[in-house]
Amino acid sequence: MAKTLKSFIIKINIMKLKYLIILLFASSFVLSACEKHDFAAGVVSSITSVEDVRDLYKGTEVTITSESLLGAEKIRGVVISNPDSANIASGLVVIQNTTRNKTRGIILAVENANTYKMGDSLLVNISGGKLNKVNGSMQITGLKEANITKTSSGSIIQPQSTSTFNINAKPGDYESTLVQIKGGTVNPPPTPTSVFNGEKSIINGADSIILHTETAASFANAQLPATADFAGILFVKQDANSNTILQIWPRTEADITNRIAPTDPNGPKLGKFPVIITGFVNDAKGADGNYEYFQFRATRDIDFEKTPMAVVTCTNAGSAAPYAGTAPEGGWATGGGRSYKFNLTSGKVLKGEYFYVGGGSKRINGPNSTLISDAKWITAINYVTIDGDGFGSKSSGLLPNSGNAGGISIFEGTNVTETSIPVDVVFFGGTGKTTMFNETGPFGYRVTDSDHYTITDPATKVDQPFFYQGTNQYVIPHKTPADLGIFVKLGGVFDAKTKTWTTARGYEFYEMTQTSAISEIETTGATTINN
C-alpha cells in the first residue's frame, strides 16, 4: 500500500514538472514575441521600401522624417531613367525597387542628375526631403548630392509586361516604373515617314496610352513603327483641367521591339475575303488551356510579313470583364478577359492552303493527342501564361464551352480598334444578347458582309453593323455534352474569283480521338474553294 502511494505521488510530481516546463516555454515565447514588436527596445532597419515612402503621401506635401518611417531614413533603388538619350526631364532621376513582390518607383529631384546612369544602384538618405506630386507624379525634392551613394552599376532591369487596361485600372501600381505594352498599335496609323518625336497614341485593347518622346531625344527622328512592343517609364501627368494622362517615355530606341513597319500606301492590299474561317476547336478533350485553335483557308497567296493580319477571339460570360454583364464598348478591341489578339506578321500561304492559329501546344485534341506542329501554323501563343498581341489577358480558355456566344474573327492589318471591320467572322454558342450587343449605344462586335451576316439589312437597307443586330442572328450552337473533343467543321463552297459564297457554310461537329490525324479535319466536310 505504501509503495503504491509513493508511486502515485511520484507520477503527480512528474506531471507537475511537465506542466511547469510547458508554462515556462509559453511564457518565454510570449515575451520574445513582445520584444520583437517593441521597436523602442529593438534594432530598426535604417532602410525602408519605396512603397512605404509613397504611402506617406495623403494629398498634400509631406516632410519625410525617420519618425514617419518608424525609424528608417533611407531607400534603395535601381536607376531606370537614362540621361544619355535625353528622353527624361532635366534634373530628375527615376528609381524603382521590388519588395514584398511589389515593384514601385519614385522620382528624385537631385543635383547633377546626369551623373546617375541607367542601371546604377543607389542608397538614398531621404530624411528631410519633401514628398509631393509634381505635375501628377510622385516626387522627392530637397535632396543634395551628399544624400546619395552609388553602391554598384550595370544592373539590368526587365520591364513589367502589362496592358493599358491594367495601367488605367491602377496607375499608382505602375507609376515611375519600367513597363512594357506588348503589341501596341499607333493610332492614327503612321506613314513610312512618321517619327517618334512628340506624343503618339498607342492603342492596346479598348484602352490607350501616350508614347512621349522629347524633341532632343537621341531617337526622336527614328522611324515610328505601326505596331510594336513599347517599353519605357510610366509617368502620370495632369493637363490644364487636372485630367490624368498616362505616358510611357522610352529610355532608348532599343525599348521598342518586335516592330512592324507602317503600311506602304502604295503597297499590296488583300481585297475581299483573302482568308476564310473553316473550323475551330473550342472544347478539346480534357483541359482546354493552350489546346484551342482555329483553322483558316487562304483564297489568294499571302505574305504576312508584307500584309499582316490579326485574329481576335471573344468570350462573353456575364462575369467576363471589362464591361462585366453588358456588351463591350470596345467591341473586338476590348481586351482584358473579353477579347484576345494574335498578330500574323510572318510566314506565307498559297491560295487554297489551310493554316492554323491558336494555343502553343499544337495538338489536335487536347493533352497527349496527335502533335500537329507540322501543319502550317502562322501564330501560336501559350495563352495560359502570355497576354495577347496588343490586347487580351492570359486565360485558361479563350472560347466558351457553354453559355453566351463566343466569336472568332480575322482582320487585315494588326491595328484592330472598335471601328475595325473583320474580313471574316464566326459566332457560336448561346443566344443571350445582353453581353453581346447594346442597341442603345449601339455597340458590340462588328460583322462583315459574308454568307451569314450583312452590314446593311438587304430588305430594309437599314444599317446593322453588329452581331445580334437586325438580321445578323446566325449562331452555331454549343455541342453537348461538353468535353467530347470536337472539331467544328465549317463546310461551304466559296468562289475565289467572284469572292462570294455560292453555298453558305454549315457546321459539322466532328468527334476526334487522341490519335486523329490532320487529314481528318482538312478533307470530308471541309469548305471547298472554286477557281
Mind listing the pLDDT tens digit of every residue in the chain (531 residues)?
A: 444 444 444 444 544 444 444 444 444 433 333 333 334 445 568 999 999 999 999 999 999 999 999 999 999 999 999 999 999 999 999 999 999 889 999 999 998 999 999 999 999 999 999 999 998 899 999 999 999 999 999 999 999 999 888 898 899 999 999 999 988 889 888 988 899 999 999 988 778 899 999 999 999 999 999 889 999 999 999 887 878 899 999 999 999 998 988 876 666 678 899 999 999 999 999 999 999 999 999 999 999 998 999 999 999 999 999 999 999 999 999 999 999 999 999 999 999 999 999 999 999 999 999 999 999 999 999 999 999 998 999 999 999 999 999 999 999 988 888 989 999 999 999 999 999 999 999 999 999 999 999 999 999 999 999 999 999 999 999 999 999 999 999 999 999 999 999 999 999 999 999 999 999 999 999 999 998
- Pair 140, 198 in one domain: no
Residue where a domain stops, chosen among 152, 178, 197: 152
Torsion angle of the four alpha carbons 291, 292, 297, 300, in this order, in degrees rounded to the nearest 10: -90
Residue where a domain stops, chosen among 124, 152, 180: 152
Residue where a domain stops, chosen among 201, 227, 260: 260
DSSP bridge partners of 93? 108
In a domain, 286, yes or no: yes
C-alpha cell at 203: 492603342
- Pair 366, 467 in one domain: yes
In a domain, 40, yes or no: no
- Pair 428, 444 in one domain: yes
Q: Look up the CATH number of the domain holding residue 80.
A: 2.40.50
531: CB partners within 8 A, 6+ apart: 495, 496, 497, 498
- Pair 287, 216 in one domain: no
Q: Name the domain count of the chain.
A: 3
- Give the residue from 441, 410, 436 showing the smallest Cα distance to 309: 410
DSSP 371: B
In a domain, 314, yes or no: yes
Residue 67 class from Cβ within 10 Å (0-12 exposed, 13-18 middle, 19+ buried)? exposed
CA neighbours closer than 13 Å in the CB half-sphere of residue 233 = 28
- Pair 274, 253 in one domain: no
3-state helix, strand, coil in the chain (%, to 5): 15, 35, 55
- Pair 456, 369 in one domain: yes
- Pair 205, 333 in one domain: no
- Pair 293, 399 in one domain: yes
- Give the residue from 374, 376, 334, 372 showing the smallest Cα distance to 355: 376
* Residue 383 CB neighbours (<10 A): 24
* Residue 376 CB neighbours (<10 A): 14
User: Residue 253: what are its φ and ψ, rounded to 5°?
Assistant: -65, -25
- How far apart CA 345 and CA 117 sit, in angstroms, is 36
Q: Look up the CATH number of the domain holding residue 182.
A: 2.40.50.200
- Pair 218, 302 in one domain: no
- Pair 171, 130 in one domain: no
- Contact criterion met (CB below 8 Å) for 171 and 244: yes
Range of the domain at 56: 47-152
- Pair 206, 327 in one domain: no
- Pair 473, 402 in one domain: yes
In a domain, 172, yes or no: yes
DSSP secondary structure of 53-71: HHTT-SSS-EE--TTTTTT
- Give the residue from 423, 413, 427 showing the smallest Cα distance to 339: 427
Residue 377 class from Cβ within 10 Å (0-12 exposed, 13-18 middle, 19+ buried)? middle
